[in-house]
């Protein structure tokens, strides 16, 4: 039986913060316990992969959207999961977002600034919140 690696030895998670037409893309993720949670497209950074490339890959695998030229917003240890999170901002480049990975995702939404708390009832990580506040059309 293999043991799970401690959180500080597990690969970081790269999250794609994708803005298009004054809205940010959120996905509703199926969590192992069966509940659903709204968040950014995200996944583990693979060996030899940059966080920017990992976030772009995960966005494509989960939603079919293609993004490029990511800009790192910041990183932290997530207070609920203990995992290192790296947040990368993108402007949408191509494709129409849809639920591609229906094992991991239930749905997705393009969310305007004034709707954010309907989906995520608490502030985002400060650099991400600052980016959303300054980038999304209010």
- pLDDT in single tens digits along all 138 residues of the chain: 444 444 557 899 999 999 999 999 999 988 765 566 899 999 999 999 999 999 999 999 999 999 988 999 999 998 888 899 999 999 878 999 999 988 888 999 999 999 999 999 888 999 999 999 999 965
- Per-residue confidence (pLDDT) for residue 2, from 0 to 100: 41
Counted domains in the chain: 1
130 inside domain: no
Position 59 in a domain: yes
Looking at the DSSP bridge assignments, the partners of residue 13 are 44, 85
135: in domain:
no
The per-residue pLDDT for 1 is 42
105 within some domain: yes
CB 64 within 8 Å of CB 89: no
Which two structure tokens, joined as six digits, stand for 130?
A: 């600052």
Query: Is there a domain that residue 127 lies in?
Result: no
Q: What is the pLDDT at residue 53? A: 96
């Amino acid at each position: 039986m293999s043991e799970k690696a401690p959180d500080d030895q597990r690969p970081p998670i790269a999250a794609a913060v994708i803005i298009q037409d004054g809205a940010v893309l959120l996905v509703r993720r199926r969590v192992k316990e069966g509940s659903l949670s709204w968040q950014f497209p995200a996944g583990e950074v693979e060996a030899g992969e940059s966080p920017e490339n990992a976030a772009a890959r995960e966005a494509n695998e989960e939603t079919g959207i293609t993004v490029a030229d990511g800009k790192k917003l910041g990183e932290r240890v997530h207070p609920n999961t203990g995992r290192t999170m790296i947040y990368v901002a993108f402007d949408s480049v191509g494709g129409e977002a849809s639920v591609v990975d229906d094992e991991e995702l239930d749905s997705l939404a393009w969310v305007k600034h004034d709707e954010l708390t309907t989906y995520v009832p608490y502030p985002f990580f400060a650099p991400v919140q600052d980016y959303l506040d300054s980038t999304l059309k209010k």
